[in-house]
Amino acid sequence: MRGARVLAVALPAAATLAVLAAGAALFMVSGIYDIGADDHHTALVTALIGELRDRSIAVRAQPLALPDLTDAAQIAAGAKLYALHCVGCHLAPGVNRSDLNRGLYPHPPNLAQQAPPEARRAFWVVKHGIKMSAMPAWGRTLDDAAVWELVAFVRQVPSMTEEDYERVTH
């Protein structure tokens, strides 16, 4: 008797799951979803990816030891690296657009206007990059000290004028 009652619940639940899985598979193979970078994700997909990204980064960035990021030589070294590797996507004081930046989705934050909210998070993202976005893993080419130099610089850049940026990158 008890077994029959369990089956009466389990069978419809399993059938519902099977229908949902088949629906998801059909949606995927149909090609309906536009993966082009010139079309936005739906609000639901944006929210899901955003939460996945933020939690993934938070868990990995939290244990990092935060070095001093106020040294002028460190900031100047970061500025030169930034001008070499980052400005095409993230812009800079006096660099308000680029052909590369315009077509990227997710759109790179304009770091000339807004410093990243948290230094450890910025370090982790610069070192490891972000999957399915244009943000590269710079840890493949730069050592940790250079990545911290970049972080030290991006914390300062929104308060810099065009002239400050010119001076520090040359």
- Give the one residue of 83, 108, 128, 168 binding ligand HEC; rule: CB under 6 A: 108
Cα separation, 5 vs 94, in Å, equals: 71
* Stretch near ligand HEC under the rule CB under 6 A, chosen from 6-14, 29-37, 66-74, 100-108: 100-108
Which is nearer to ligand HEC, 76 or 134 (by Cβ)? 134
**Residue 60-99 contact track with ligand HEC, rule CB under 6 A, x = bound:** ----------------------x--xx-xxx---------
Q: Which of 76, 95, 134, 137 binds ligand HEC (CB under 6 A)?
A: 134
The residue among 12 and 146 lying less far from ligand HEC, judged by its C-beta, is 146
Q: Are 151 and 119 in contact (CB under 8 A)?
A: yes
Question: Can residue 137 be called a binding residue for ligand HEC (CB under 6 A)?
Answer: no
**Structure-token match 């500025």, residue found:** 79
Q: Is the dihedral of CA 111, 43, 31, 52 positive or negative?
A: positive
Cβ neighbours of residue 110 closer than 8 Å, sequence gap 6 or more: 90, 91
Maximal CA-CA distance, the chain: 83
